[in-house]
């Protein structure tokens, strides 16, 4: 069964510094996708970045990059040059493609606070 683990309930980072949010996953599927979402205090879920299990390069989207280590089953989110607006809850999620269930399963989330 698919499982997502985020072991950092809360993180602090200084403005303009980089921060890494951890995510490990478990799946028996060979084809899967990993997602990161941001949830600010206003509550909406904002899609940030996607990594496919067969993608050879780490995904990047602006200041967001995904450090994908397949053998270790980790998909850490790296935010470069943190901004005050990055303060939010961040969720890692996974979908298994071979089973094609369509289910997107989330980790428990990490709360990030950016300090000025």
Site residues, another protein (CB under 8 A):
33, 35, 37, 43-45, 47, 50, 52, 91, 97, 101-109
**Nearest distance from residue 116's CB to another protein, in Å?**
27
Torsion angle defined by CA atoms of residues 19, 25, 29 and 30, in that order, rounded to the nearest 10 degrees: 40
Tell me how many degrees the CA angle 30-48-13 measures, rounded to the nearest 5.
110
Q: How far apart are CA 94 and CA 78, in angstroms?
A: 17
Nearer to another protein, 23 or 82 (CB): 23
**Nearest distance from residue 45's CB to another protein, in Å?**
4
Nearer to another protein, 16 or 70 (CB): 70
**Nearest distance from residue 19's CB to another protein, in Å?**
21
Nearer to another protein, 45 or 81 (CB): 45
Q: Are 88 and 56 in contact (CB under 8 A)?
A: no
Residue 76: φ, ψ to 5°: -80, 140
**Nearest distance from residue 109's CB to another protein, in Å?**
6
């Amino acid at each position: 069964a698919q499982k997502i683990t985020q072991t950092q309930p809360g993180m602090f980072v200084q403005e303009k510094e980089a921060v890494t949010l951890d995510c490990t996953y478990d799946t028996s599927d060979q084809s899967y996708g990993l997602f990161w979402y941001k949830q600010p205090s206003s509550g909406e879920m904002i899609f940030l970045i996607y990594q496919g299990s067969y993608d050879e390069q780490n995904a990047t989207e602006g200041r967001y990059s995904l450090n994908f280590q397949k053998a270790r089953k980790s998909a850490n989110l790296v935010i470069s040059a943190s901004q005050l607006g990055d303060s939010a809850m961040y969720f890692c999620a996974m979908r298994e493609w071979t089973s094609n269930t369509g289910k997107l399963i989330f980790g428990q989330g990490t709360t990030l606070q950016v300090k000025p």
